[in-house]
A and B are shown apart, each in its own frame.
Chain A
Amino acid sequence: MFTNIDTFLPYILGGLTTTVQAFLFGAVLAYSIAIVAGLARTSRLAIVRGAATVFVELFRGTSLLVQMFFFAFAFPALMPFTMSTFIAGGLALGLNYGAYASEVVRGAVLAVPKGQKEAAISLNMSKFQTMRRVVLPQAFRLMLPGLGNNAIELLKGTSLVYFISLADMTFNANILRSSNTSLAAQVEIYTYLLLVYFVLALPLVFLTRWLEKRASKGVSTA
């Protein structure tokens, strides 16, 4: 057992680029959506709030894998243009985790004490100024730990692109497994795969921990 590390590990790592690309694509999309949708949900305009709510509930209410299949297999049939499976997978990841992360953004914006907004109004700040100079800087530090956790979840979610035949690490591991059918080899392959995911996630874990510690430090809570 654990004797084939020099053939198995490089093969699994062959999918590392796809995993990391899917993660980055998903993360950029998810955080952009999170900020837009999260702020839209705190909007005073009912129509903006309503549209954002429908989006968030739709993507939180259906499963990530269902969305991924939809974008990969059903969507191309509806649309006149074709979309690569990578884009489909990245879109599903970004939209799904974006919907979850938007709740973090919304929660953070709502958690800024009301007195702060009132103070901004009494200083004759415009709405935009209030947002940019008073609410967002305070909300930002509150949302960071939540967004860090979201990044870990997103990394785990990238393994689902295996189902739409993107050659990520999970996909490569399954190819290896189909040609190495002994029990020892199978256990070995998936052990390496788990360890690689763990090593990838570790920086995100430490970053999140650090952000959590920082979020509560040096801020007057009164």
Chain B
Amino acid sequence: MTWDWAFAFEIFPRILQGVGVTIGATFSAFAISLTLGLVLTLLRRLSFKPLSLTVAGIIEFIRVTPPLVQLFFVYFAFDMGPFLTGAIVLGVHYSTYVSEVYRSGINSVPKSQWEASRALNFSPVQTWRKVVLPQAIPPIIPMLGNYLIILFKETPLLMGIYVTEMMMIARSIGAETYRFLEPITIVGFIFLVLSYPCALFIRYLERRSGQIPGSAEKGVKA
């Protein structure tokens, strides 16, 4: 069996129809992980030890067990649609990674910044909103971007719970025609074309991450 261009062009539009679902799932899951990740980070910082340790334990459990199995668990335990299940499970799974990223960002804010907020009589909410987060978040944007790309490449897992994303379509084409070479290669190609430019952009951000965006004129040293 060799590569058949005519067949490849014939099935390309069909596979391309799944791109929307793939990207939709990626961004829904990413939105969940950004939000939940922040919540987890804050919970882990609580001074009430039993709670913060419990949260740390849950994070560890979610992080080291396979997302595919978590998908199955949630899909069969709760009566939700495949897409919703997929977005939530991937979102929750990656929120544990994202929370680690937030943590590193927050830890990189010098202690003197906290002390200064205190000296200026800022409330905790003000301290977080006006002092800590504006300094903690910009340096971690490239890392978050990396997780967005990783998340994007995890979405084929969703075919396990019958979400019709690209890989699912490719597999059914393969099952119908007994030709797997073209559909799978096309899916790989689409993944590469979409993720590689993003990866290059993030690397560019990483290279200049020594400087915090917008900080130069305000006299803040990284």
Contacts and interface: CB of A to CB of B under 8 A. Distances in A.
Interface of A: 57-58, 60-67, 69-70, 73-74, 77-78, 152, 155-160, 162-163, 170, 173-174, 177, 183, 186-187, 190-191, 193-194, 197-198, 201-202, 204-205
Interface string B175-195: 000011100110111011001
B181 A78 contact: yes
B77 A205 contact: no
Contacts of B60: 205
Given A77-B181, A160-B68, A63 B1 contact: no
B76 A177 contact: yes
A220 to B, nearest CB: 23
Interface in B184-222: 184-185, 187-189, 191-192, 195-196, 199
B167 A65 contact: yes
Given A61-B199, A66-B167, A197 B69 contact: yes
Given A63-B188, A64-B153, A74-B185, A197 B64 contact: yes
A63 B153 contact: yes
Of B68, B69, B159, B179, which is in contact with the most chain A CB atoms at under 10 Å from its CB? B69
Contacts of A197: 64-66, 69
A146 B73 CA distance: 29
22 contacts: A57-B199, A58-B192, A61-B199, A63-B156, A63-B187, A64-B153, A66-B187, A66-B188, A66-B191, A70-B184, A73-B174, A77-B181, A155-B64, A157-B66, A160-B68, A163-B160, A170-B66, A174-B72, A193-B72, A194-B69, A197-B64, A197-B65
A69 B180 contact: yes
A61 B195 contact: yes
Interface residues of B, number: 40
Considering the complex of A and B, which 7 residue pairs feature the smallest CB-CB distances, nearest first?
A: A73-B180, A159-B66, A190-B73, A201-B64, A65-B156, A62-B188, A77-B1
If over half of B's interface residues share one DSSP class (helix, strand or loop), that class is named, otherwise mixed; here it is helix
A101 to B, nearest CB: 14
Given A64-B153, A194-B70, A70 B188 contact: yes
B96 to A, nearest CB: 12
Interface-centre pick from B154, B156, B167, B170 (highest chain A CB count, 10 A)? B156
Contacts of B179: 77
A81 B99 CA distance: 46
B184 A69 contact: yes
B184 A160 contact: no
Contact of A63 (B67, B154, B180): B154
A77 B180 contact: yes
A190 B76 contact: yes
B73 to A, nearest CB: 4
Given A157-B66, A191-B73, A197-B69, 13 more contacts: A58-B192, A63-B154, A63-B187, A65-B156, A66-B187, A73-B180, A73-B184, A74-B180, A155-B64, A174-B72, A177-B72, A193-B73, A201-B65
B160 A183 contact: no
Contacts of A162: 68, 160
